[in-house]
């Protein structure tokens, strides 16, 4: 009888494991396909393998690098969806604890998802992306037979040497700050400690850097989101007169066409100057035609959508930003008083016991919207910074090296998103597995400083966004008034001096 019970338990564990792996595989395939379509939209087009400098060899290298970038981007999207999937799972299990159709949605599945995400993030960040970069830049060792395998050997050796340097530096740093003799001797057990100690340690440092970058980019992104949505959504007629803009573009188009016709009839001008001027005018004409086509599309939008769409979008963005600031300020005071605990320590989270929010399912949905909004604002803010603006991908014109850089940036930001959401108090869902076992999460003053910096910088960016135009106009009026006053005083002083 006991043997039958043991067999039943083993079968149950086996079937649960198989079900989880199937779910992971289906989810990863969905993310991989969507990531591949996204990268193909942005990467530079190649009509055939002959367009590459090295012919078919370069084509194979860039194809492998494309696969690695797609894998990394899918891991990044998975990191963004970690908290939303976990929150939804908790709410579903809370409302339907005994439903047969949601039995597969359990704590084991969510724990496995977090652990697998952590492992794939490490592999992508420390192995796949460096290898992809070295692979695209390699040419093979001198004197060795050329080919794809020669470039593979060079990339692997360079990556191995880089790994030794980084692991050695991390070992020195950990030995300086840790007095435990056994941890200082971990270098001699390198093969097991690279995965168990050094990679999580380096990942903790990188996640901290990612949180700092998010703290800097997200407030800027909040302000930028209003500008971006203002360009995408049609503004009301009292803010933008489309008919007047269309009439202006039409007059400009007619003027440029007359200039082009005049140049065609005046053949006595030099050929070189004629071609240069016609080329520049032709480009201006094409740009005006594109603007006219865009305005024609906007003119066809219904008046109700034109007058209500823009105010509703701006109000929604303003409400989401204010909610982020209020939640962070509330979390700051709870930490200061001692009501809320620090987000440190890997906890055994059991799903479905209670709702994460006091508002129930509505609060959970609001948390998911805020998390996705923070991620969107952080990406927009990152690409708005002057130093990183050159990294912005362009449709059908992004090089492979630039694609690799963007994938690394997105992986760092997305991996730091669950940590930032937890330390900012946007969600109460505990960090699971290695995500919650980072030592710096237990530093009270550091977490308190992050909350204060986020709330302060976001408030300053919003204030500057909505009052910048007014302040600049007041400054210009004052400057004009002072300049006019000085001009009036100078002739009077000169005249009085002559009379004396």
DSSP 135-200: HHH----TTSPPSHHHHHHHHHHHHHHHHHHHHHHHHHHHHHH---HHHHTGGGGHHHHIIIIIHH
Using a pLDDT cut of 90, give the percent of the chain over it.
9
Return the SS3 of 439: helix
List CB contacts of 440: < 8 A, sequence separation 6 or more. Answer: 204, 208, 446
How far is CA 4 from its chain centroid?
A: 52
pLDDT in tens, 382-430: 888 888 888 888 888 888 888 999 999 999 999 888 888 888 888 888 7
For residue 96, give the nearest of 448, 399, 459, 351 by alpha carbon.
351
pLDDT in tens, 42-86: 887 764 444 455 567 778 888 899 999 999 999 999 999 988 998
Question: What average pLDDT does the structure give for the chain?
Answer: 76
User: What's the rounded Cα separation, in Å, for the pair 494 and 492?
Assistant: 5
Query: Which residues, in sequence order, are bridge partners of residue 43?
Result: 398
Using a pLDDT cut of 70, give the percent of the chain over it.
70
Token code pair at residue 388: 């990183």
What pLDDT score was predicted for residue 408?
92
pLDDT > 80? residue 173: no
Query: Which residues, in sequence order, are bridge partners of residue 398?
Result: 43
For residue 356, give the nearest of 142, 141, 133, 86 by alpha carbon.
86
DSSP structural state of residue 429: P
User: What's the rounded Cα separation, in Å, for the pair 131 and 292?
Assistant: 46
User: What's the rounded Cα separation, in Å, for the pair 42 and 393?
Assistant: 6
Across 67-71, 181-185, 280-284, the highest mean pLDDT is recorded for: 67-71
B/e letters for 82-110, b = 16+ CB within 10 Å, e = fewer, are bbbbbbbbbbbbbeeeeeeeeeebbbebb
* Listed range (82-86, 299-303, 355-359, 489-493) with the worst mean pLDDT: 489-493
How far is CA 128 from its chain centroid?
A: 19
pLDDT > 90? residue 137: no
- Residue range 265-292: mean pLDDT, rounded: 60
pLDDT in tens, 292-319: 666 666 666 666 666 676 778 888 888 8
Answer with the residue of higher pLDDT: 156 or 353. Answer: 156
Are 351 and 89 in contact by the 8 Å Cβ rule? The answer is yes
Answer with the residue of higher pLDDT: 273 or 62. Answer: 62
324 exposure class (CB count in 10 Å sphere: 0-12, 13-18, 19+): buried
What pLDDT score was predicted for residue 33?
94
Confidence tier at 275 by pLDDT (50, 70, 90)? very low
- Residue range 457-474: mean pLDDT, rounded: 71
For residue 440, give the nearest of 423, 424, 426, 428 by alpha carbon.
423
What pLDDT score was predicted for residue 184?
47
Helix residue ranges per DSSP H, 178-302? 181-184, 190-193, 199-232, 242-265, 271-299
Give the count of beta carbons closer than 10 Å to the beta carbon of residue 451. 23
160 exposure class (CB count in 10 Å sphere: 0-12, 13-18, 19+): exposed
* Listed range (15-19, 151-155, 266-270, 308-312) with the worst mean pLDDT: 266-270
């Amino acid at each position: 009888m006991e043997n039958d019970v043991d067999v039943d338990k083993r079968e149950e564990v086996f079937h649960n494991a198989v079900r989880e792996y199937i779910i992971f595989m289906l989810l990863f395939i969905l993310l991989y396909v969507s990531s591949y379509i996204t990268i193909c939209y942005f990467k530079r087009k190649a009509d055939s393998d002959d367009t590459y400098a090295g012919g078919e060899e370069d084509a194979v290298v860039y194809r492998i690098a494309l696969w690695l970038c797609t894998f990394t981007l899918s891991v990044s999207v998975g990191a963004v969806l970690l908290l939303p999937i976990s929150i939804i799972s908790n709410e579903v299990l809370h409302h339907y604890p005994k439903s047969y159709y949601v039995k597969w949605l359990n704590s084991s599945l969510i724990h496995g998802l977090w652990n697998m995400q952590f492992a794939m993030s490490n592999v992508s960040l420390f192995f796949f992306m460096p290898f992809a970069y070295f692979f695209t830049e390699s040419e093979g060792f001198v004197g060795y037979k050329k080919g794809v395998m020669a470039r593979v050997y060079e990339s692997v050796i360079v990556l191995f040497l880089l790994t030794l340097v980084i692991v050695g530096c991390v070992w020195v740093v950990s030995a300086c700050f840790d007095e435990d003799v056994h941890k200082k001797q971990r270098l001699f057990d390198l093969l097991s400690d690279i995965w168990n100690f050094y990679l999580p340690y380096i990942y903790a440092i990188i996640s901290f850097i990612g949180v700092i970058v998010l703290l800097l980019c997200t407030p800027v992104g909040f302000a930028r989101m209003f500008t971006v949505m203002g360009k995408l959504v049609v503004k009301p007629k009292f803010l933008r007169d489309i008919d007047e803009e269309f009439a202006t573009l039409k007059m400009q188009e007619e003027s440029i066409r007359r200039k082009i016709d005049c140049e065609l009839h005046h053949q006595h001008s030099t050929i070189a100057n004629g071609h240069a001027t016609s080329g520049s005018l032709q480009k201006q004409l094409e740009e005006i035609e594109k603007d006219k086509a865009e305005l024609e599309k906007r003119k066809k939008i219904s008046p109700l959508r034109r007058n209500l769409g823009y105010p509703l979008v701006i109000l929604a963005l303003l409400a989401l930003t204010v909610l982020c600031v209020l939640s962070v300020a509330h979390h700051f005071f709870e930490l200061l008083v001692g009501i809320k605990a620090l987000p440190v320590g890997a906890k055994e989270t059991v799903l479905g016991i209670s709702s994460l929010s006091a508002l129930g399912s509505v609060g959970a949905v609001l948390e998911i919207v805020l998390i996705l909004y923070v991620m969107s604002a952080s990406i927009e803010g990152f690409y708005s910074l002057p130093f990183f603006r050159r990294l912005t991908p362009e449709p059908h014109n992004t090089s492979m090296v630039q694609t690799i850089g963007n994938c690394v940036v997105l992986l760092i930001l997305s991996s730091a998103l669950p940590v930032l959401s937890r330390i900012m108090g946007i969600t109460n869902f505990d960090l699971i597995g290695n995500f919650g076992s980072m030592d710096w999460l237990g530093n009270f003053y550091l977490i308190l400083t992050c909350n204060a910096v986020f709330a302060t910088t976001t408030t300053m960016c919003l204030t500057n966004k909505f009052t910048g135009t007014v302040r600049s106009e007041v400054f210009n009026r004052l400057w004009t008034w002072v300049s006019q006053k000085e001009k009036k005083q100078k002739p009077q002083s000169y005249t009085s001096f002559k009379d004396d």
